[in-house]
Amino acid sequence: MSTPIIHQTAAEMSADLASGSVTAVELANAHYDRIAAVDGDVHAFLHLDREGALAQAASVDASRKAGEKLHPLAGVPLALKDVLTQKGVPTTCGSKMLEGWRPPYDSTVVANLKKAGVVILGKTNMDEFAMGSSTENSAYGPTHNPWDLSRIPGGSGGGSSAALAAFEAPLAIGTDTGGSIRQPAAVTGTVGVKPTYGAVSRYGLVAFSSSLDQAGPCARTVLDTAMLHEVIAGYDAKDSTSINAPVGKMIEAAKKLDVKGMKIGVVKELSGEGYQAGVLTRFNEALDLLVAAGAEIVEVSTPSFEYALAAYYLIAPSETSSNLARFDSMRYGIRIGDDGSRSAEEVMNMTREVGFGKEVKRRIILGTYALSSGYYDAYYGSAQKVRTLIKRDYEAAFAKVDVLVSPTCPTTAFKIGEKSDDPLAMYLNDVATIPVNLAGIGGMSLPCGLAPEDGLPVGFQIMSPALKDELMYHVGGTLEAALQSKWGKPLYASAPELAVK
């Protein structure tokens, strides 16, 4: 029995499109049928652009029929996190503040996708303004993990990861400020990559924390993620933080499947106390597979990582308080209470009270306090010094090893509502992912099995030096192949099939 088209990898869909055994329109419609069948349970999408997607698909089919040379991903569907602008398509960032806003321009990521002929199905759910680790902070309701609908799909990009795990799309775009691509990938059994900071343009990405935010590719396999990475990466003059450097050969690296002679460092501080037993079991089994493939495993200590979480929750809220000041009802966002009887300040206060959710307000207040007169040096300034120490720890580690590894998350997916009243417990979900963002280096999460306690996916994190993202794909592709050889099938093929109602 052949694999249903929606269960194929993006690479397989690409091959079928090229051979003519399926059209882009047929492929898009198959995914819309799947979304109609299961998204009532999953709630991965906030908006579907069926008309625009089918028009894009028809254009790809016409170009292919005319014999034009097309990008390998032309006609392959994709789910887009609702924090990136797409011309004429609602972009809410999961917030009431931007409800109904239709951007007049495309983000550079979207422009690159369109240029390649990728078909954008719609916009995915997320924690409001990307602030959260569970997608419970969305103003439009939580997304559910396809592996267990009572559990979170990670955050802030839970909609993108859930769409992949539920076979609603083969590709997705996420953004990662402190783990918002990698943590959702880990708990949904998918692959997610946070590229080197500046390797993918932030133009058109609605800012949360400008020195940390980074868009990146998500998929069900390492190769598919590599293919998408090469589409969206590259220098962009519209982004002042964009790095003018060649895009690496991610696809080639993902196909190497050989780590002989490589040194892989296990971060001592990110793989011990506080981690679920089953997570460590699967992580250590993955290490054994890398040893069998020829790698040398070395334990590495990064003492400054102990302070990464605290530093992050000073830097990110500080930048948030600055970035979200623009949503003041005067320039951007909705407007509440403007009946002619109230002052601009009153309208602004009423708008921000209604437009922002609890977590966004918490971080704005924290950031405003950290930046206030008399506290700047003690808080924000000190956090930036810790950030420098973390970068130095990485530099020292990469002088000894090719890549660093750790579990992506301390635990598997928790129940919806389980941690919503405990911000610190929620923040601890990102303890292993945050250092990567503070240093601006690359990070990948790929599935390494199911935890024996609960049968839920476990993520394996690979970290590479800045501008050496190919190393993540090299090691990730090798590990993925070894795991699939061990299991006899890819992990995503084990994902529970949602009932079609």
Sign of the alpha-carbon torsion through 287, 290, 296, 300: negative
Which structure tokens are listed for 29?
A: 């419609």
Set 138, 156, 321, 420: catalytic member: 156
Out of 95, 134, 161, 180, the active site residue is 180
Catalytic residue check, 318? no
For the chain, the residue count is: 501
Phi, psi for 444 (deg, rounded to 5) = -130, 145
The DSSP H or E segment spanning 45 is strand 45-48
Could you confirm whether 81 is annotated as catalytic?
yes
In degrees to the nearest 10, what's the CA dihedral of 284, 288, 289, 293?
140
Q: Is 255 a catalytic residue?
A: no
With CA atoms as reference, report the closest residue to 495 among 171, 38, 189.
189
What residues contact residue 393 under an 8 Å CB cut-off, 6+ apart?
302, 303, 304, 305
According to DSSP, the residues that pair with 123 across neighbouring strands are: 47, 80
CA torsion 130-440-430-225 (nearest 10°) is 70
User: Looking at 14, 81, 138, 161, which residue is catalytic?
Assistant: 81
**Peptide bond just before 133 cis, omega within 30 deg:** no
Whole-angstrom CA distances from 146 to 41, 42, 128, 135, 155 are: 9, 6, 21, 14, 14
Comparing CA positions, the residue from 297, 300, 295 lying closest to residue 262 is 295
- Parallel/antiparallel/unpaired status of strands 263-267 and 403-407: parallel
| Residues forming the active site | 81, 156, 180
